[in-house]
Structure formats: structure tokens, C-alpha cells
Amino acid sequence: MPLMDLHGLRRVGRLVRDLHDIAAGFIPPPDPRWEVYVPADRSDLICHHDLAPWNLVCDQDRWVFIDWDGAGPGSRLWDMAWTATGFVPLQPGGDPAEDAPRIRALADGYGLTDEQRLEFAPLIGARTRGMADLLYESARTGRQPWARLYAEGHDWGRAAEYAEQNITTWKRVPSSSYQLSSWVWFRPGHNQPRVRVLTR
């Protein structure tokens, strides 16, 4: 997927917010079996856990996240942290001055408050570090498919270092003048929202 511009990143943030708001009303069945490979910071709702470019399908005006097999308990900010790593993207040798506005675009699209942005900043590195640790351990034990991914060159360790080294910069990312408004449509006779539209 080509590198997204700021408008695209805001749209991703809106889409993630939409998914989380809908998931917040989901009640799991008794004794569910989850396959969450990177433990989250806490469990507030059911999250995707891999909202990244490789799981986003774009067809003109329709954007859809696929690959929900790793869904399970997590938190909004933890899920968004991995979204930032993948979509900004945060890579070794990156430029914080260029990446910070891209993180802000995601946060603006989601509608994070300034307080949430302070909490969000360190989670970016923590979530990326969790993925790196999963690959390292899987390479040692032979656990698939993670061992294969590591052998193919997927190593998130240096990306985690970059994110961790720039936590102060990410914390300085303020909210912009980008504002969200929303409306929710309910089907007659149903009390669960079917569509939530977020606009600038």
C-alpha cells in the first residue's frame, strides 16, 4: 500500500474509532477462546489487534479491515498504538519531525483528547516491543507462523527502539483544529447502532 497522506491517516483514525465504538457494545459469549498473541495493557473491549496496512482493503470509497482471527480483549489506545506503527509508519532511521504530524493525523481522526495522547505516546513503543518479543521468542521455539515471519526478515525490534526513544516527541503532539462530528443511525426496532458517520 502506498504511503498515506495526512487526509488518509485521519480517515484511518476515524475508521478505527468507528470499529471501537461498535465493539464497545459487544458482549462476548460465555468462556470465549481468544488468540491474542501480544497481551494488551488492559481489557476494555474486544479489539482487532492488527489494524495495519496489510489488513486494510480499499475499494474506491469503501475501506474495510480484514483478518479478525486475532481479535480479543484489549484497549482502544493499545489497538491504536499498533495502527500508528504500521500506518505512519514508524521505522528505524525515521525522522520524528516528519512522523509526529502523521501520528497527530491518526489521533485527530480518532478524536483522542490531549490527555489520551499523553497516555497513547508510550504505548506505541510498548505495543511494537511486544510484537518484537513475540517474533524473537517464536524464532527460538519454532512457533509458527511467527518463526517464519522472523526468518523472512520481519524484525520489529529497531522500530520499537525508535518509538521508545521518541516518546517525548509523541507526547508533544497536540490536537489540531480538526474536529469530529457524528451521527448514529438505528434500525427501527433495534437499539444497537448500525452506522456511525464521522466528518470533519
Compute the Cα dihedral for 183, 185, 186, 191 and give only its sign.
negative
Q: What is the model's pLDDT at position 86?
A: 97
For 89-126, write each residue's pLDDT tens digit: 999 999 999 999 999 999 999 999 999 999 999 999 99
Share of the chain above pLDDT 90, in %: 82
| Secondary structure class of 110 (helix, strand, coil) | helix
Q: What is the model's pLDDT at position 148?
A: 96
> Contact, 17 vs 110, CB < 8 A?
yes
For 45-75, write each residue's pLDDT tens digit: 999 999 999 999 999 889 999 999 999 999 9
Average pLDDT of the residues in 166-186:
65
Q: What is the model's pLDDT at position 61?
A: 87
Give residue limits of the domains in the chain. Answer: 6-199
Residues in the chain: 200
HEC letters along 170-184: HHCCCCCCCCCEEEE
pLDDT at 137 > cutoff 50: yes
Domain topology for 6-199: Aminoglycoside 3'-phosphotransferase; Chain: A, domain 2 (3.90.1200)
Q: What is d(CA 13, CA 115) in angstroms, rounded to the nearest whole number?
A: 17
